[in-house]
Structure formats: structure tokens, C-alpha cells
């Protein structure tokens, strides 16, 4: 019986990092387009979305971060708001607001529709706002894109194993 030694191939770590960054950047662009749908019908300030990918020995991640003038509003809608009291700016003043409002976005949906601002008017010295339900858009993107991203990353690692 004759034994033949098996020699391990050296890993191309630099090539792997390059492939991983490219895969994460491509995924970030897809995620960004998906999140931009949530503000498609917004008027006024809209957030800009930045893609940040991280490749370290301990972490592989891609994140789409809202920034700019509309980022604060986007985060309020994404994360929801607690019930709160709204009072007039001037002491002894009265609030005037429309009734029958319908939001442009829905919980768990990656789109922005028409919505309505309401037709009727009301006045009050104070309003107990019920808060806003979180839209959880990031979770929706994660559920839709998790498997395709993992498949691509697995392919990058398999490519490394086959490289000379």
C-alpha cells in the first residue's frame, strides 16, 4: 500500500475579502432600492440612504442607513412612536387639525401609496396622540434578502476553497 501526502492550498485572503466586499456592496444597493420605495410618494424632505459594508475577521455586515433631512421622520415611522400628548405652542392656545387622515405606508409593506390628509377639521386644547405603529421595513428587507445574500456569500467561500 502506498500513501500520497495531501498538501493544503494557501488561502487567497485578499481575494476573499475583495469578493465579500463586492457581494455586500451589491446587496446594499438592492436593499437601498427596496427601502427607497417607502418614501416614493413623500412630499417635502426625504432621507438619503447610505450603504455601509463591514468585512473584519469577526464580522460580515451590510447596513443601509437613512441620512439627511428626512432621516429623523423615516426613523420615527420605521420604529414607531409611543402614545403622547400634543399641546399648542402658545399657552392657552388651541390646536387645529384635519381628521380622517390615512397614512401613505402600511406595517410590513415596502411601498408608499397615496394616503389622505383628511377632509374634516377639528379643534382641541390638547390631543392624546395614540402613537404610530412601527413599519419594520428593515425586517421586511431582511426576510426577503437573507437567503439570497447567504447563498452569494456561500458561493464566495466555495470559490475560495477551489482557488489555486
Angle between helices 13-36 and 137-162 (to 10 degrees): 160
Q: What is the pLDDT of residues 81-103, one digit of tens each?
A: 999 999 999 988 999 999 998 99
- Its pTM stands at 0.80
Is residue 39 scored above 70 in pLDDT?
A: yes
In this model, does residue 79 exceed pLDDT 60? yes
Q: Per the domain annotation, does 2 fall within a domain?
A: no
Is the predicted pLDDT of residue 47 greater than 80, yes or no?
yes
Exposure string of 32-50, with b = 16+ CB inside 10 Å and e = fewer, is bebbbebbeebeeebbebe
Q: Does the residue 75 lie in any domain?
A: yes
Q: For position 45, what pLDDT does the model report?
A: 92
Answer whether residue 58 is part of any domain. yes
Backbone angles phi, psi at 122, to 5 degrees: -140, 160
CA distance 145 to 139: 10
Q: Single out the residue of 139, 153, 130, 154 nearest to residue 109, CA to CA.
A: 139
Q: How many domains does the chain have?
A: 1
Domain that holds residue 89: 13-162
Strands (E), 5-117: 48-55, 60-67, 84-86, 95-99
Would you say residue 8 lies in a domain? Answer: no
Whose cell is 402614545? That residue is 83
Amino acid at each position: 500500500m502506498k500513501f500520497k501526502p495531501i498538501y493544503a492550498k494557501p488561502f487567497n485572503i485578499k481575494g476573499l475579502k475583495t469578493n465579500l466586499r463586492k457581494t455586500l456592496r451589491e446587496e446594499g444597493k438592492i436593499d437601498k432600492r427596496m427601502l427607497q420605495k417607502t418614501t416614493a410618494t413623500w412630499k417635502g424632505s426625504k432621507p438619503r440612504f447610505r450603504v455601509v459594508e463591514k468585512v473584519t475577521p469577526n464580522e460580515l455586515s451590510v447596513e443601509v442607513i437613512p441620512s439627511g433631512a428626512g432621516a429623523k421622520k423615516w426613523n420615527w415611522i420605521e420604529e414607531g412612536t409611543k402614545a403622547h400628548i400634543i399641546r399648542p405652542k402658545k399657552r392657552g392656545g388651541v390646536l387645529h387639525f384635519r381628521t380622517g387622515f390615512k397614512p401613505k405606508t402600511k406595517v410590513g409593506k415596502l411601498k408608499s401609496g397615496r394616503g389622505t390628509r383628511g377632509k374634516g377639521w377639528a379643534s382641541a386644547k390638547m390631543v392624546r396622540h395614540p402613537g404610530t405603529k412601527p413599519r419594520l421595513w428593515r425586517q421586511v428587507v431582511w426576510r426577503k434578502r437573507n437567503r439570497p445574500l447567504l447563498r452569494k456569500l456561500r458561493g464566495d467561500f466555495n470559490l475560495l476553497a477551489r482557488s489555486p
